[in-house]
Amino acid sequence: MENNYFQRTEKLDISWCPGCGNFAIKASLSNALIELNLKPENVAIISGIGQAGKMPHYIRVNGFHTLHGRAIPAATAVKATNPNLTVIAEGGDGDMYAEGGNHLIHAIRRNPNITVLIHNNQIYGLTKGQASPTTLISTKTPTQPWGVFEEPLNPIALAISLNASFVARTFSGNLEETKEIIIKAINHKGLSIVDIFHPCPSFNKVNTLQWYRENTYFLKDHDVTNRKKAFEKSLETEKYPLGIFYTCEKPVFEDVVPPYILEKTPIWKREPNLEKIEEIINLKRS
């Protein structure tokens, strides 16, 4: 897409390996933001640690790195402080499903109006290829040379079982479809979870570009409001379904927290009440 004003113009030292699916995800995300007519200053990407977490380095928006696995709570706070921002939490399958798994679960309960993009290459790429929560059984890695024996986490089934308000999966090699899903995720009011399959050519020799093309398909004539059917689809592993699995309407975190019930002014624009702050401090001291 031309006129990509989300593209950084300065010289960048790209850490991603040639052939990494993160390049395609970056392109789909940038194009989605352009089609949504968003401005870089009105978008914030909050990322964790890992190769996926480097997205704020390479795209011209507000960015903030958190601790490993902590992108979602930080993104929730950013959105609560400034609800006018489009907030995206971004991380890998290790970052979001291992270190950050507890935060994902409770974000589903809380339902903040943020979009969570999970770069799922089924391996830890930054730390040189040990198994992640989504690595398939029998995959051999530097830290599991005998082969992985744990059953892989099914993030789609997990999200639907907890009644997440938007659950989708795509594959980075399908740039147009990924862009469209990201657009719908951002437009959704509530927590949007998008699991994005992508190859890691350096450390995952099982789930290659060709493997994803041969082992995925896009859902057709699927009722995204039918939670039971969506859950059934999430359990398919002979070929992995792609697309939007499930959506529902739920109360949104920023709409029900006390600071916004009586006043809609974003928190960051409000003048601090120093007397109240001092009163609270003195109360705690006593």
Instruction: Examine residue 242 and state whether it is found in any structural domain, yes or no.
Output: yes
Give the whole-angstrom CA distance, residue 72 versus residue 47: 8
- Both tokens of 246, joined, read 């499930």
Residue carrying structure tokens 């902590």: 70
Instruction: Examine residue 176 and state whether it is found in any structural domain, yes or no.
Output: yes
Q: What percent of the chain has pLDDT over 70?
A: 98
Could you give the number of structural domains in the chain?
Answer: 1
Of 104, 107, 119, which Cα lies nearest the Cα of 194? 119
pLDDT band at 180 (very low <50, low <70, confident <90, very high): very high
Instruction: Examine residue 12 and state whether it is found in any structural domain, yes or no.
Output: no
Give the whole-angstrom CA distance, residue 68 versus residue 83: 24
pLDDT band at 284 (very low <50, low <70, confident <90, very high): low
**pTM as predicted:** 0.93
* Residue of 7 and 88 predicted with greater confidence: 88
Instruction: Examine residue 5 and state whether it is found in any structural domain, yes or no.
Output: no
The whole-number average pLDDT for the span 205-221 is: 96
Say yes or no to pLDDT of 226 above 80: yes
Helix (H, G, I), strand (E, B) or coil at 285: helix
> Within the chain, what is the greatest distance between any pair of CA atoms?
66
Instruction: Examine residue 64 and state whether it is found in any structural domain, yes or no.
Output: yes
pLDDT (tens digit, 9 = 90+) per residue, 59-118?
999 999 999 999 999 999 999 999 999 999 999 999 999 999 999 999 999 999 999 999
Which strands form 62-65's sheet, in the order they lie side by side?
A: 62-65, 43-47, 86-92, 115-120, 192-197, 166-171, 240-247, 216-218
The one-letter amino acid at 265: T
- Both tokens of 81, joined, read 């402080």
CB 195 within 8 A of CB 221: no
Number of H helices, E strands in the chain: 12, 8
* Residue of 70 and 5 predicted with greater confidence: 70
Say yes or no to pLDDT of 2 above 60: no
Phi/psi-derived region of residue 128, left when phi > 0, alpha when psi is between -120 and 50, beta in every other case: left
pLDDT band at 3 (very low <50, low <70, confident <90, very high): low
* Residue of 133 and 13 predicted with greater confidence: 133
Instruction: Examine residue 254 and state whether it is found in any structural domain, yes or no.
Output: yes
Give the whole-angstrom CA distance, residue 283 versus residue 58: 46
Determine the structural domain holding residue 118 and report its residue range. Answer: 21-284
CATH number of domain containing 158: 3.40.50.970
Say yes or no to pLDDT of 286 above 80: no
Instruction: Examine residue 246 and state whether it is found in any structural domain, yes or no.
Output: yes
Give the whole-angstrom CA distance, residue 8 versus residue 62: 12
